[in-house]
């Protein structure tokens, strides 16, 4: 398998930066790994935080047997009205680092493929 294909597949299908690490471009691989990991950590943290907040609102209504579909819908719309700024930024960082890592690994692999030997 060509180095360009191997690097691109590892960065695209496994994890951003892995292709660079396998191809010997450690600094750039570490940058992509850190960016993607930071994005995942922030995204997961915010999702857990929002879910915990929602559970704190729902449990008292469940205990009083006052939870219905309309009340649940209102709570969800109120919670999402606060915006998803940090989550959106995290998704952009994850997707961006993934796409750039794929392209970078491909071009680094192409350069390695052209070397004699």
> What pTM was computed for the model?
0.80
pLDDT of residue 67: 76
Q: How far is Cα 82 from Cα 61, in angstroms, rounded to an integer? A: 22
The predicted model gives 33-62 an average pLDDT of 91
Residue written as tokens 């819908």?
73
Pair 47, 87: CB distance under 8 Å: yes
Q: What percent of the chain has pLDDT over 90?
A: 51
């Amino acid at each position: 398998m060509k180095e360009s294909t191997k690097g691109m597949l590892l960065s695209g299908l496994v994890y951003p930066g892995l292709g660079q690490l396998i191809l010997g471009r450690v600094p750039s691989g570490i940058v992509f790994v850190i960016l993607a990991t930071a994005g995942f950590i922030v995204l997961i943290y915010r999702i857990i935080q929002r879910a915990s907040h929602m559970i704190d609102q729902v449990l008292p209504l469940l205990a009083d047997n006052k939870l219905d579909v309309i009340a649940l819908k209102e709570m969800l719309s109120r919670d999402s009205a606060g915006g998803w700024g940090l989550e959106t930024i995290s998704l952009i960082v994850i997707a961006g680092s993934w796409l750039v890592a794929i392209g970078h690994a491909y071009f680094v692999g192409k350069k390695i493929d052209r070397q004699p030997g």
